[in-house]
Structure 1
Amino acid sequence: MDPRTSAQDVMRCDLCETAVVQMHCDTCLVNLCKACVGEHISTDESKDHKVVKFQSRKSTPLYPRCTSHNKQQCTMHCDKCGNPVCTKCLASSQHLGQHLGHKLSEILQIAEEKKDKIIKGVIELRETIYPTYQDIASDVQNRMSQLEKEYGDLSTAITKHGEDWHREIDKLVKKLKAEVDEIKSTQLQTLQKHLDEINKTMSDIKDEIDSNNIATDTNDLSKLFSVTPMANTCIYRNLPQKLEPVFPKLIPGKIQELGKLFGALSSSSLTSDKHGYSMKTPQKSTEAGSSPQVKQLLDEPEIVTTIDTGYGFLYNVACLSDEEIWTSGPNSTMKLYGINQGSLLKSIRTKSRNRPHDIAVTKSGDLVYTDNKNRTVNIVKNEKIEEVIRLQNWEPRGVCSTSSGDLLVIIGSDDLTETKVVRYAGSTEKQTIEFDDKGEPLYSSDSDYITENRNLDICVSDCEAKAIVVVNQAGKLIFRYTGHTPAPKNQPFYPQGIATDSQSHILTADYNNECVHIIDQDGQFLRYIDCGLSEPWGLCIDTNDNLFVAQLGNSQVKKIKYL
């Protein structure tokens, strides 16, 4: 072990390597004993050696050397040019000609500002960006564990289904299980590669932090100015895409026609969602409180305002902002109203001139509507209508925009025998939700409204089944809510519009009982909003948890405060 650097020994002079360090040359960054100071200075008399006590090391700034005037120190900084300048530069006519009117600053002041920027970048890398990548890596690892479990469950389901069959289907069972293993292996490889890339970036971030810390910890201004603040920090803010496995499902058949009816795996993939991750928020003090804010239900909900829309019947309402709402009725016109004045701000007609079946607003503020007669899902951008999805032999019904920017669409078959929820990224189908774990349909043919809860559960209003059907993000059934007794008008539960709030409450309009049900995210009834509503149909909730109720018969929108 080197005695000069050993933690078991005192620091020794860099020249004689025996005497204890007492002095330090801030110019050469050399540790010296008192006896070696003269020898050190005499070895290179061209330098202006700044020898100080060891305890005061790094106290003398090392000014950059001028690139135009050799050996001249740059003690000033030209703010406009962004370059250090020496006294000869300032005195030269050439420099004055180029820099006439240029503002000059003390280079030490600029150095401190630059150091502050670098330190801020290091803090962001260390406290925000790097922890975010840690979370992303953990998320990918969790998805890999989930992938193992899901494919294990899938293999078990295939095996159990195969037990009811005879020897003729053994080969088919093995084939399907081999497909599962192959898909699992492919997706695991993709996720592992994704994780390796994330770990590589995390390593680069740590290197960046270490490099910047060295630059800010030295008094060598040349090293300090070699660092560009925030350059790589901006690169690392662009978080990686989020890979989420879409798991195939066994679609069971009946024993007749073995090869056709035994079942096949649905499509699977690893979808890439650039909006999937968000930057980790640095921890705040407990005084800042947690998010979301806990809100209590009011004893008596309050109707804040009423807006007349002028439709013959009013079906749908969607919040564009806390000041504006979109509405739709029995014709092709969708109307935008200002909430405070109740004034009509804008009207848009559907492309096909059919009435919209449902409307929603995306995260970016664009209006989306479904045209079930034309079999399309459309988006309105800058008052121009773009067709996003066109279906064959299926018609779209309810639609909502998710927190990740996807669209969830309820679609029904033309013969009214099948209904499913499909997740789209643009026009690409990412996920299909149709059956429960027993292979039974989740939804009836009259499921019209859909929303995503804050916890990412998917909530569907199934009018024919007189139920609210809630599944998790993976499409597994969590619960069915079938109403609460006694109901305000003692009529059967007849759910229509559905919405969720910041507390993960689920609200649904009950047309028969002229009220709104509030249940929690686990399906437990909390209370009714029963404040003189007339034929409630569509619902939406703004960012302040105000409820908007579209009343079918009188075509009014009621704004209600209930939290």
Structure 2
Amino acid sequence: MFGSLSSSSLTSDKHGYSMKTTLKSPEAGSSPPVKQLLDEPETVTTIDTGYRSLYSVACLSDQEIWTSGEDSTMKLYSINQGSLLKSIRTRSGFIPWDIAVTKSGDLVYTDYYKDRTVNILKSEKLEELISLQEWEPRNVNSTSSGDLLVIMYSDDRKQTKVVRYSGSTEKQTIQFDDKGKPLYSSDSYNRYITENRNLDICVSENKAKAVVVVNQAGKLRFRYTGHTPAPKNKPFSPRGITTDSQSHILTADNENECVHIIDQDGQFLRYIDCGLSPWGLCTDTNDNLFVAQNRKVKKIKFLK
């Protein structure tokens, strides 16, 4: 299932990366144990979610996973049993664009079709957390510090930015590089976002065919544009993105039916051949990979 191993290789409102508050430094602590990539990844289990198309997965715990797809209902599943534990309908009745689980275990989702909001499920009740004007919230991720990172587009679809929130308070905007050029492409195609262990912010851009990685301050570190040869010899088509305890970045390649594994500096390591067309990704605390494919979630063990 793995492909071959490659040896290859402030503050200004104008530039959109101004910091309104000081971001926390990484918490002190011991480094995680070193884990190696398995020679042959193992599919542990598969869960049929019943969605016509499944777009996003978010780990609540090592036993439970939230899912969302082409339906207004978000579903919580038992990973081991494969059984449906809970269903929550969006406040608007429209399809959620993306979901995430906060550090405290709350489900959040974005709704741009109806009311341009980011919503949160607290104590079994859905509440509006963030409401936007002139911008549309799309994909969302919860960080290790408990902040939310939200990808959003301008009404005219000509601008894209990442905004960091603490609760409903905006803390940081990431939009331009240090030369004033846009970090992200000006289209409304699929994107996903995640935070790496080193606090880098990683965004997959489907139409731009790139993974854009910036550091905690919003400074561009690198762009990953795929690796040749690709399993299906098709152009890089990134969708879901996640990271693991080793600071690997994993991104789903829809057209090549695989997941790319790169290191924290953008060097290609290997492919995981998934079969079918992967979309959303997430990892649990044991470094199991969850892949959204059509209507199913596949749990894959890829580290030893």
Same fold judged by TM-score > 0.5? Answer: yes
Distance apart, 1:454 and its partner CA: 0.2
Report the counterpart of residue 382 of structure 1 in structure 2. Answer: 123
Report the counterpart of residue 560 of structure 1 in structure 2. Answer: 300
* 1:384-425 alpha-carbon deviations (Å, 9 max, x no partner): 011111111110111001111110000001111000000011
Greater length-normalized contact order (CA 8 Å, ≥ 6 residues apart): 2
Report the counterpart of residue 340 of structure 1 in structure 2. Answer: 80
1:400 corresponds to 2:163: no
Once the two structures are superposed, the pairs formed by residues 89-168 of structure 1 within 5 Å of their partners are none
Higher Cα Rg: structure 1 or 2?
1
Q: Which one of the candidate residues 506, 529, 539 is aligned to 2:281?
A: 539
C-alpha contact 1:367 1:380 (8 A) present in aligned 2: yes
SS in 2 for 1:389: strand
Q: Distance in 2 between matches of 1:450 and 1:535?
A: 19
Q: Distance in 1 between matches of 2:178 and 2:156?
A: 24
Distance apart, 1:268 and its partner CA: 5.3
CA 1:248/1:329 → structure 2, altered by over 3 Å: closer, same or farther? same
Once the two structures are superposed, the pairs formed by residues 244-283 of structure 1 within 5 Å of their partners are 247-249=10-12, 251=14, 269-271=20-22
C-alpha contact 1:360 1:400 (8 A) present in aligned 2: yes
Report the counterpart of residue 493 of structure 1 in structure 2. Answer: 236
Report the counterpart of residue 200 of structure 1 in structure 2. Answer: none
CA 1:483/1:394 → structure 2, altered by over 3 Å: closer, same or farther? same
CA 1:429/1:250 → structure 2, altered by over 3 Å: closer, same or farther? closer
Distance apart, 1:510 and its partner CA: 0.3
Distance apart, 1:267 and its partner CA: 6.1
Q: Which one of the candidate residues 110, 113, 138 is aligned to 1:370?
A: 110
Q: What amino acid does structure 2 have at the position aligned with 1:454?
A: R
Q: Which one of the candidate residues 209, 212, 234 is aligned to 1:466?
A: 209
Q: Distance in 2 between matches of 1:277 and 1:318?
A: 23
Once the two structures are superposed, the pairs formed by residues 174-253 of structure 1 within 5 Å of their partners are 247-249=10-12, 251=14
Q: Distance in 1 between matches of 2:118 and 2:108?
A: 7
C-alpha contact 2:26 2:198 (8 A) present in aligned 1: no
Distance apart, 1:534 and its partner CA: 1.0
Q: How many pairs does the alignment contain? A: 291
Report the counterpart of residue 453 of structure 1 in structure 2. Answer: 196
Q: What amino acid does structure 1 have at the position aligned with 2:37?
A: L
Distance apart, 1:271 and its partner CA: 4.6
Q: Distance in 2 between matches of 1:551 and 1:435?
A: 33
Higher helix residue share? 1
Q: Distance in 1 between matches of 2:142 and 2:241?
A: 13
Distance apart, 1:439 and its partner CA: 1.2
SS in 2 for 1:299: strand
Report the counterpart of residue 230 of structure 1 in structure 2. Answer: none
Identity of matched residues, %: 75
Q: Distance in 2 between matches of 1:369 and 1:477?
A: 27
Please, which runs of 5 or more residues in structure 2 have no aligned partner?
Answer: 1-9
Q: Which one of the candidate residues 336, 358, 381 is aligned to 2:98?
A: 358
Name segments (4+ residues, structure 1) moved above 4 Å: 265-268
Report the counterpart of residue 7 of structure 2 in structure 1. Answer: none
SS in 1 for 2:264: coil
Q: Distance in 1 between matches of 2:297 and 2:17?
A: 42
C-alpha contact 2:139 2:192 (8 A) present in aligned 1: yes
Q: What amino acid does structure 2 have at the position aligned with 1:456?
A: L
Root mean square deviation of aligned Cα: 1.7
Report the counterpart of residue 211 of structure 1 in structure 2. Answer: none
Q: Distance in 1 between matches of 2:216 and 2:18?
A: 17
Q: Distance in 1 between matches of 2:214 and 2:44?
A: 33
Q: What amino acid does structure 2 have at the position aligned with 1:501?
A: D
C-alpha contact 2:98 2:109 (8 A) present in aligned 1: yes
Q: Distance in 2 between matches of 1:434 and 1:267?
A: 10
CA 1:491/1:346 → structure 2, altered by over 3 Å: closer, same or farther? same
Q: What amino acid does structure 2 have at the position aligned with 1:291?
A: S
Once the two structures are superposed, the pairs formed by residues 46-125 of structure 1 within 5 Å of their partners are none
Distance apart, 1:251 and its partner CA: 2.1
TM-score by length of 2: 0.92
CA 1:489/1:416 → structure 2, altered by over 3 Å: closer, same or farther? same
C-alpha contact 1:447 1:460 (8 A) present in aligned 2: no
Distance apart, 1:440 and its partner CA: 1.1
Distance apart, 1:272 and its partner CA: 7.9
Report the counterpart of residue 548 of structure 1 in structure 2. Answer: 290
Q: Distance in 2 between matches of 1:344 and 1:392?
A: 36
Report the counterpart of residue 324 of structure 1 in structure 2. Answer: 64
* 1:508-563 alpha-carbon deviations (Å, 9 max, x no partner): 000000000000000000000014x21100000000000000002xx010000000
Q: Distance in 2 between matches of 1:316 and 1:447?
A: 12
Q: Distance in 2 between matches of 1:277 and 1:436?
A: 23
Higher strand residue share? 2
* 1:172-222 alpha-carbon deviations (Å, 9 max, x no partner): xxxxxxxxxxxxxxxxxxxxxxxxxxxxxxxxxxxxxxxxxxxxxxxxxxx
C-alpha contact 1:410 1:447 (8 A) present in aligned 2: no
